[in-house]
Structure 1
Amino acid sequence: MYGCELRDDGSTRGYWQYGYDGKDFVALDTERWVYYPLTDQAQVTAQRWNSPELRVGERNKNYLETDCIPWIRKYLEYGKEELERRVRPEVKVSDQTVNGVTKLHCQVYGFYPRDVDVKWQKNGIDVPSYEAKHVFPNSDGTYQIRVTVEVPAEDREGHSCHVDHASLDQQLTVRWEPQSSSNTLWIVIGVLAGVIAIAAVGFIIWRKRSGKKKNYAQTNTSDKDGS
C-alpha cells in the first residue's frame, strides 16, 4: 500500500508499506527514506532493501515526491469545481404526537457536500436521538437527513435543531415552538366558523334561486289562466 497526501496548508506526506499473510510487514520511513521491519521476520528483508546495492527507499522517494504529488494536484484541478461546490441546507422542524408521546423531527435537505452534523438541543444541552442518523442522496446530487427525538409531554419547552455544514459561516439554529392548547382551540374555532360561513352563504344562494323559480312558475300559471 502506498500513496501521498496533499494537506490544506500545502504540506505533503507520503507513505509506502507492505504486508504479508494478512499482517503488516515493512514500512518506509519518509524522513530517512529507509525501510523498517514491523515483524521479526521482516528484519532480513528490510536490511536487504536498505543496502547500498538496492536502496529501495530512495527509489520510492523519487516516485512519492516527483510523480505522486503532481498527479494529485492535476486531479484536484480537474475536479476543482465539484470539490469546492457548496449548497446551503434547508431546515424544517415539525412535531408528531402519538399516544401521548411527542416526536420532534428536524428535516435537513438540499445540502452539499455530504458531511453534516445535525442534533437536537434543549436549552443548550444535547438531546440524544433514538433513531440512527442516515444521510440520503437526492436526484439533483444534494443530500438530506432527518433527526428525530422524543419529548415528554411535561418537558416541551426550549428545544431547537442545530446544523453544522461546510456551506454555513456559522451554526444554523431553528427553534421548535410547541403549539399551546389555546392556539389549537382558536384554530378549531376558526375552521368551524369558516365552515358555518360557507354553509350560510350557500343557503342564502339556494333560497334566492328557489324564490326565482317559484315566481317564474306563478307567472306562467297566471298567463295561462288569462288566456
Structure 2
Amino acid sequence: MNVNMKAFVLLVLGIGLLHIASAVTHSLRYFYTGTTGIPDFPEFVDVGVVNGKVISYYDSITKRKVPKQSWMEENLNQQYWNEGTDQLKGTEQSFKANIQIAQTRFNQTGGVHVFQNMYGCEWDDESGATEGFYQFGYDGEDFLAFDLKTTKWIAPTPQAVITKHKWDSNTADNEYKKNYFTQECIDWLKKYVDYGKSTLMRTVHPSVSLFQKTPSSPVTCRATGFYPSDVMVSWQKDGQDHHEDVEYGETLPNDDGTFQKSSHLTVTPEDRKNSKYQCLVQVKGIKEDFIGVLPGPDAPNFVPIIGGVVALLVIVAVVVGVVIWKKKSKKGFVPASTSDTSSENSGRAAQMT
C-alpha cells in the first residue's frame, strides 16, 4: 500500500461508521466522495444506503450507477439506473472542480485531499416523524451544512463562508431542497423499505461472549451476528445497572450483513469475587434479552479470537466511500464568523464559486 493510500485509510479508520437506523427509524443516505492524489482509486464514488444496506453504487471508473441489492434491481427499471448515471456524471465533474476550489481556499498544493457530501432523510414508522440532512466535508472536517428550518447554510470554517453567501442567495434552490428532504426523499425511502422489507425488517439473535486477555485486562463483552444494528450492550452489578469503569465500543458490520458491538469493563479481582457481574444485550425489535455472566476471578480467562474485522472495515469504508469527517450530531455545526467577505435529484452538487 502506498503512502497516499495509507493516509486515506487512516483517515477512514479515525471516524467509525455511519449511524445506522433502528428497526423502526428508517434511513436513506447518499455518500459522494471525491478524491485527489490517490493512485489507482476512483476520483469520485457514490454510494446509496438504506438502513445500513448498500443499495446502489457508482464510480468514475465504471461510470454506471448499478444496484447492489436484488430487490432494488427487481423493482426499478433500467430507465431509473440510466437517469441516475447521467445525474452522477454531472456531479462527478462538480466534485472535481470543488476539490480544486477547496485546495485554493486552504492554500494547498498536491497531496491527498477528500471532498464529501452526505445527504438523506430518516422516517420513524411508528411516530411518523421525519428528518432530513445535507452536509459537506473536506479533509476530515465539517465544511458546510444545510439547515432545513431556516433554509440557510451553516459554514463552520472561514473557507466556506463565501460559498454560504452564494448558496444562501439561491432561495429557489434552497426551497427545493427543503421540499425534497421533507417529502420526496421520504417517499423514496418508504418505497425502498417496502422493496427490501424481507431483508430490512428481519431480526437475528446475537451471540454473546465474555473474554479477558490477561488477568489485569478489562473484561470484554462481545455481541455479534445480530440484526438490526440498534443494540444496547450494558453491564449490571448485583442486578443493578453499572456504568462505572465501562467503555462502550462502536457498532460495526460483519461481512454477512449482521452487526457486532463490544463493551469493556474494568473490574478488580476482589470486586469480581464479591459481586455478580453480567453483560446485558438488548436488540431493537427482539423482546428477549441476552445475558453473559462474568465468572469469578479463579475461572480460566477467555482468549479472544482475533479476526479480520478491522481489515474488512477499512476495505468497506474505502470502497463504498463512507463519510470520513468527524462523527457529530446533525446540529453540531458551529458557524464561522460571517465577517469574511430520481431519488438523487437533490444531490446534484453545485460548484462552490
TM-score normalized by structure 1? Answer: 0.50
More strand by share: 1
Pair member with larger Rg: 1
More helix by share: 1
TM-score normalized by structure 2? Answer: 0.35
Whose RCO is larger (CA < 8 A, sep 6+)? Answer: 2
